[in-house]
Structure formats: structure tokens, C-alpha cells
């Protein structure tokens, strides 16, 4: 929240209350008493001591600043600021004195005016003059009341002087109110002065920090330009790996950072040569520029025509306390939460989106349908099939880089090819396009928004999916349902899908409503149940769909009765077992 920004950020330790302790020759610990503890390791004992000394000095400075901020009356301000403040208060005091004088004059002249009017009333004058004098007397009384209100003084309701001439009590009360005002202004003036001084100190600290960052930036640029990547050490190489990383213990100069050399991390996993991509001399020298791109592509396809892998390595079994990471993230969006890497599955979100095409044969069969209503049944089964593997996969795919693409070419085997690209980073959004030579095109733009509610995590995909069949021109659109990850705090993670999907044929007006029933512990229904109805533009139900989003989907033809009412005919659909058609069944997991 904005209130937090003034005093802390998540993960910080206040140096004024920090505990700095040395663990061994290279390690030291900074802790704030339980909530945050940092274990830091230096490359040598000398470097560790430099860090500890610098942190102790910074801690002393932080304690001093804390004491200064706690002292509300004796803050240190410059002589110029004190003089300016005194001048302001002096001017304010003189204005209060002027106001008090004005009050006395108003009281004096008001009394005289009231007395003169009373004398006029006592004289024997014609009735017309008496009325006129009473009217002037009332206006004079209003003038007195208004004057008192202007000076912020009102006589007590029980005061017998109300309606009569003002008394010296008014001039005595008014300066008291003005003095209170002056005292209040003086108190707030000190607070403003303190706030101003804090802003100035903060600006100076920011300028110093920026200067340090600029120096570090220049230093890193110089180091990067002068860095040399050395080969692996051989028996003839002087020094060991430890000597390369750690400076000499006796070296206390700050120039040892300038002499650091940077090394590439070694390749831990050897790259398998399954794709057949080998860099040749022609690739490096550029002599292949006279070969056309088509020939290069054909040559590449011939090289890469090898068997695809049939299994992937097992997931490493690391213990993961998810609640310790996410307890500070309640109410935040998933893209703002830092996740440990072993919470991810080794896929990009683009690849995960492309998995929607696993059951592409449903769209192939839909393209061959002559009836648009039957075609809609297969499209509905295709929308459900995209959730088939989520029940077993509670891991999160990696966020793609902005502009990252994933291409899947299955033209030879399955007749389609697909391209998916990350088109926005905040908020994350991907665009997916797939073409099939079997007569359909699929495209989708998916934005994922999410909310963490403590016990569960809700993932809401935004954006629309379009499917167009070339021969008939039927154009279908739909949106995805909400995915919920349960048992974030304790227990085994499990995923549920809930909500409704409305699939619309924009050419004919046909519509299908799919309902994903949320899991309930007290329900006797089968888990992960999906029901659906396929309707024509008039709202008559022609097909009923029933199944689960992790196993299969069946289709029943609805026989309309004499009432020709779809609502009455729906129960009969389940009785007509002979009209049941299996639309989709999940493939065995690899």
C-alpha cells in the first residue's frame, strides 16, 4: 500500500535495530530478530571484515538518525532556517496585535453607536421616525454580531449583554483566541520545519546513492570490456580455482575489484545431438550466402528428421514450503509474486498454450461435418479437451520473454502448424495462431489475470478464442473458464475448473452452453463434471453433452416431444442410450 512506501519494503531489515554477528572466517549474519535473517558469505576473511565494519558504521548512523527523528523539539536546523522561522512568527504576532486593536475599536464605536440610537429612541418623535430608528438599531445589532463572528468570538447565550452594547469582555476574549491561533501556528511551524529537513536529508542521500550507482555502472562497463574468459585450468596453469575467485587475504586496497576476471558458468548438462544442428565452416565464414533460403530449409528438414523423444527426465524431488513464500502475497496478482524455480514445470507458457492442439483431430472431424449443429458438438468437445491434463499438473509454466515465440510444425504428421508469441509482458499476454490443411484455422489471444486468496489461487484467462472452418465459413468464438488451485496452505495441491463457456456460431446463430461444475465435498455428482446443450438460433435444444473435463465427453441427440419444449426433453436425452456418441476420450498420459 502507499502507506508502506514511506517506511519499509518487503524483505528489508532496519539497520537501526539489526543484529550483525560473525559466524566464521567468511560468513556473517544480519537479522532483525526473527522475521528476516540474511546469511552472507564473503570470498575471504578480509572482505568479510570490510563488510561487517561498513555495516556497523551504517548501523551507528541509522541509530543516530532514529534518535534525531524521535526528538520532536530539538531537531537540528540551520541558522538561516531558524531566522526565517522567527521572522515569520514575529510578523504573525504583530498581525495578532493589529487584530486585537481592531477588536477594541469595533467594541468602542459599537458602544457609542448603540448609545446614540438609544438616545434617539427616548426622544418624542413622530411615529414614522420611531419605526425608522428601530430599523437602524436592528441593523446596528446585526453589524455588531457579524463583527464578533469575524473575530471568532461569540457571547455566551446566557450573557445579559446580548442585544445590548458590547462590553470590554469581548475585547478580552478575542486576543485570547488569537493567541491560541498563534501558538497553534508556532507548533505546526516546527513540525513543518522538521518535515522539510527530513526531505532535504533524503534528497542528499538519494543524490549520494545515484552517484554511487553511476560509479558502479562505469566500473562494471570497464570490467566487462576488459574481461577475458580463460580456458579450464591445466596442470601448467599457475594457481587453483580458489585463487581465481578469492583475493589475497592481505590485500586491503579497493582496486582488487578492478582486477576481477569474469568466467562463463560451465555447461553441466551436455547438449544431446538429437536435432542434428552442427555448425560448419560455411555457417561461420558466410560462404553459404549464395544458397537460397528454400534449399537451406529443405536441407535442415532432412537433417532434423529423426525420431522424437518418448520420455523426459523425472522431476527433481525438492521439498517446497509454498506457504512460506506466498504468505506475504495474499491479494496480489500471480505475475507480481516471486516464485521458486522448482515450483515451475520445464515449459514456457507458450508451449502450454500450444498443447490445446493435442486433440486436433476433433477439429478435423468437425470440418467434415455437414450439419453445423453436429460440428458445434465437436467444437465443444475440443474446448473441454484442453483441460484434460491440468488435473495432474499443479506446476506453473515459465513466463515467456517479451517477443518470445514457440513454433510447432506438424504438417506432415497431423496436417497443422502453429505459432505462439508473447506480445505483452505486463500484463502477460500471448497470441496464438494455428492453420490446418484439413480445413480449419484456430487463433486465440490470452491474457492471464490471477488473484491469491490465501487458501486458493484463482487464475482467470481473459481473451477470446476463434475457430473458423474454411469450407462452410462457420466462425466460432468462446472464452476459457476460471482455474482454481486449492490447498496452497496445507495439503496436496489440486486443481478445479469452474464456470460457463458459451460457444457461438456467428454465421448461423447456433449456440452451445457448457457448464463446468465446481467440486463440492457434499455433492454426490461425479467429480469434474461438465454438462452442455447445443441449441439452434430459436433456443431449441438439439444435442445434450455430458462428461468430465479430465476423461471424456458424450453427446446425446434430444428427441423433442409434442410440446416441442427443450426443457421437457432434456431428461429423455439420457434415456436414449442408443443415440449416445463418444465425442472425445483422453489419451493415456505419456
The pLDDT score that the predictor gives to residue 271 is: 45
The pLDDT score that the predictor gives to residue 262 is: 43
The pLDDT score that the predictor gives to residue 410 is: 93
- 174: cell is 478575542
The pLDDT score that the predictor gives to residue 158 is: 41
Mean pLDDT of the chain: 76
- 230: cell is 580463460
Angle between helices 79-122 and 168-226 (to 10 degrees): 150
- Rounded to an integer, the average pLDDT of 108-133 is 77
Distance CA 302, CA 288 (A): 17
Q: Could you tell me the sign of the dihedral formed by the alpha carbons of 90, 91, 92, 93, in that order?
A: positive
Is the CB of residue 359 less than 8 Å from the CB of residue 549? no
Output 151 or 318, whichever has higher pLDDT.
318
Instruction: For the chain, give the number of residues.
Output: 590
Is the CB of residue 468 less than 8 Å from the CB of residue 486? no
Q: What is the 3-state secondary structure (H, E, C) of 357-407?
A: HHHCHHHHHHHCCCCHHHHHHHHHHHHHHCCCCCCCCCCEEECCCCCCEEE
Angstrom distances, CA of residue 553 to CA of 342, 382, 385, 480, 550: 34, 10, 9, 17, 9
pTM for the structure as a whole: 0.50
- 394: cell is 499443479
The pLDDT score that the predictor gives to residue 303 is: 61
Output 482 or 223, whichever has higher pLDDT.
482
Judged against a pLDDT cut of 50, whether residue 245 lies above it is answered with: no
The pLDDT score that the predictor gives to residue 165 is: 42
Split at pLDDT 50, 70, 90, the class of 333 is low
- Delineate the domains of the chain, giving CATH numbers in brackets: 15-66 (no CATH), 334-561+572-585 (2.40.160.120)
The pLDDT score that the predictor gives to residue 228 is: 53
DSSP state of 133: H
Name, of 30-39, 141-150, 316-325, 415-424, the range with top average pLDDT: 415-424
Judged against a pLDDT cut of 50, whether residue 71 lies above it is answered with: yes
Is the CB of residue 429 less than 8 Å from the CB of residue 403? no
Q: Which residues contact 224 (CB under 8 A, 6 or more apart)?
A: 262
Q: What is the 3-state secondary structure (H, E, C) of 67-97?
A: HHHHCCCCCCCCHHHHHHHHHHHHHHHHHHH
Is the CB of residue 329 less than 8 Å from the CB of residue 337? yes
Write the pLDDT tens digit of every residue in 471-498: 999 999 999 999 998 887 777 888 999 9
The pLDDT score that the predictor gives to residue 357 is: 95
To the nearest 10°, report the CA torsion of 277, 282, 287, 288. -20
Write the pLDDT tens digit of every residue in 177-199: 666 776 777 777 778 878 888 88
Compute and round to an integer the Cα radius of gyration of the chain.
Answer: 41
Is the CB of residue 486 less than 8 Å from the CB of residue 495? yes
Cα–chain center distance at 221: 32
Of the listed ranges 27-31, 137-141, 397-401, 426-430, the one predicted with least confidence: 137-141
- Rounded to an integer, the average pLDDT of 359-373 is 95
Write the pLDDT tens digit of every residue in 383-406: 999 999 888 888 888 889 999 999
Judged against a pLDDT cut of 60, whether residue 282 lies above it is answered with: no
Is the CB of residue 543 less than 8 Å from the CB of residue 571? no
- Rounded to an integer, the average pLDDT of 340-352 is 85
Which residues sit opposite 460 in a β-bridge?
449
Q: Residue 547: is it exposed, middle or buried by C-beta count within 10 angstroms (0-12/13-18/19+)?
A: buried
- Rounded to an integer, the average pLDDT of 99-122 is 78
Distance CA 435, CA 282 (A): 34
**Percent of the chain with pLDDT strictly greater than 70:** 70
Amino acid at each position: 500500500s502507499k502507506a508502506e512506501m514511506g517506511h519499509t519494503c518487503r524483505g528489508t531489515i532496519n539497520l537501526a535495530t539489526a543484529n550483525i554477528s560473525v559466524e566464521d572466517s567468511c560468513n556473517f549474519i544480519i537479522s532483525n530478530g526473527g522475521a528476516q535473517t540474511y546469511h552472507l558469505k564473503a570470498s575471504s576473511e578480509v572482505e568479510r571484515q570490510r563488510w561487517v565494519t561498513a555495516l556497523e558504521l551504517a548501523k551507528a548512523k541509522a541509530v543516530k538518525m532514529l534518535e534525531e527523528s524521535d526528538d520532536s523539539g530539538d531537531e537540528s536546523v540551520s541558522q538561516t532556517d531558524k531566522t526565517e522561522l522567527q521572522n515569520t512568527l514575529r510578523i504573525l504576532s504583530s498581525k495578532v496585535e493589529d487584530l486585537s486593536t481592531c477588536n477594541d475599536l469595533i467594541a468602542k464605536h459599537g458602544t457609542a453607536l448603540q448609545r446614540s440610537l438609544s438616545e434617539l429612541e427616548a426622544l418624542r418623535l413622530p411615529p414614522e421616525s420611531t419605526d425608522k430608528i428601530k430599523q437602524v438599531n436592528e441593523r446596528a445589532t446585526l453589524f455588531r454580531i457579524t463583527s464578533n463572528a469575524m473575530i471568532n468570538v461569540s457571547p455566551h447565550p446566557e450573557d445579559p449583554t446580548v442585544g445590548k452594547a458590547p462590553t470590554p469582555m469581548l475585547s478580552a476574549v478575542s486576543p485570547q483566541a488569537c493567541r491560541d491561533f498563534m501558538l497553534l501556528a508556532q507548533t505546526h511551524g516546527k513540525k513543518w520545519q522538521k518535515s522539510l529537513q527530513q526531505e532535504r536529508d533524503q534528497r542528499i542521500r538519494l543524490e549520494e546513492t545515484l552517484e554511487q550507482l553511476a560509479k558502479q555502472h562505469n566500473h562494471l562497463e570497464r570490467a566487462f570490456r576488459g574481461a577475458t574468459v580463460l580456458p579450464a585450468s591445466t596442470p601448467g596453469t599457475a594457481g587453483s580455482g580458489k585463487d581465481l575467485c578469492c583475493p589475497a587475504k592481505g590485500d586491503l586496497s579497493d582496486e582488487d575489484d578492478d582486477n576481477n576476471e569474469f568466467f562463463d558458468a560451465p555447461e553441466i548438462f551436455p547438449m544431446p545431438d538429437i536435432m542434428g544442428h552442427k555448425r560448419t565452416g560455411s555457417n561461420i565464414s558466410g560462404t553459404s550466402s549464395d544458397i537460397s533460403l528454400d534449399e537451406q530449409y529443405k536441407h535442415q528438414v532432412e537433417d532434423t528428421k529423426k525420431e522424437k523423444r518418448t520420455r523426459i527426465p523425472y522431476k527433481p524431488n525438492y521439498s517446497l514450503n509454498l506457504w512460506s513464500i506466498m504468505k506475504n502475497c495474499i491479494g496480489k496478482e500471480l505475475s507480481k509474486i516471486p516464485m521458486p524455480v522448482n515450483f515451475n514445470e520445464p515449459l514456457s507458457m507458450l508451449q502450454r498454450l500450444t498443447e490445446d492442439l493435442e486433440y486436433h483431430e476433433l477439429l478435423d472431424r468437425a470440418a467434415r461435418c455437414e450439419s453445423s449443429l453436429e460440428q458445434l458438438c465437436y467444437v465443444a468437445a475440443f474446448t473441454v479437451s484442453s483441460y484434460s491434463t491440468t488435473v495432474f499438473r499443479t506446476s506453473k509454466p515459465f513466463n515467456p520473454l517479451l517477443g518470445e515465440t514457440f513454433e510447432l510444425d506438424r504438417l506432415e504428421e497431423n496436417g497443422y502448424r502453429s505459432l505462439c508469441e508473447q506480445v505483452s509482458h505486463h500484463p502477460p499476454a500471448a497470441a496464438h495462431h494455428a492453420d490446418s490443411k484439413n480445413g480449419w484455422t484456430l487463433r486465440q489471444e490470452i491474457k492471464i489475470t490471477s488473484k491469491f486468496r490465501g487458501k486458493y489461487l484463482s487464475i482467470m484467462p481473459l481473451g477470446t478464442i476463434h475457430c473458423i472452418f474454411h469450407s462452410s465459413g462457420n466462425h466460432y468464438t468462446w472464452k476459457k473458464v476460471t482455474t482454481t488451485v486449492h490447498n496452497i496452505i496445507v495439503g496436496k495441491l489440486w486443481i478445479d475448473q469452474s464456470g460457463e463457456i458459451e460457444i457461438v456460431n456467428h454465421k448461423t446463430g447456433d449456440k452451445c452452453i457448457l457448464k463446468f461444475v465446481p467440486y463440492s465435498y457434499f455433492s454426490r455428482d461425479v467429480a469434474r463434471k461438465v454438462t452442455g446443450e447445443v441449441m439452434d438460433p430459436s433456443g431449441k435444444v438439439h444435442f445434450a453433452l455430458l462428461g468430465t473435463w479430465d476423461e471424456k465427453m458424450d453427446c446425446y441427440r434430444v428427441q423433442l416431444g409434442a410440446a416441442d419444449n427443450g426443457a421437457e426433453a432434456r431428461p429423455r436425452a439420457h434415456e436414449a442410450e442408443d443415440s449416445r456418441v463418444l465425442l472425445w476420450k483422453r489419451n493415456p498420459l505419456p
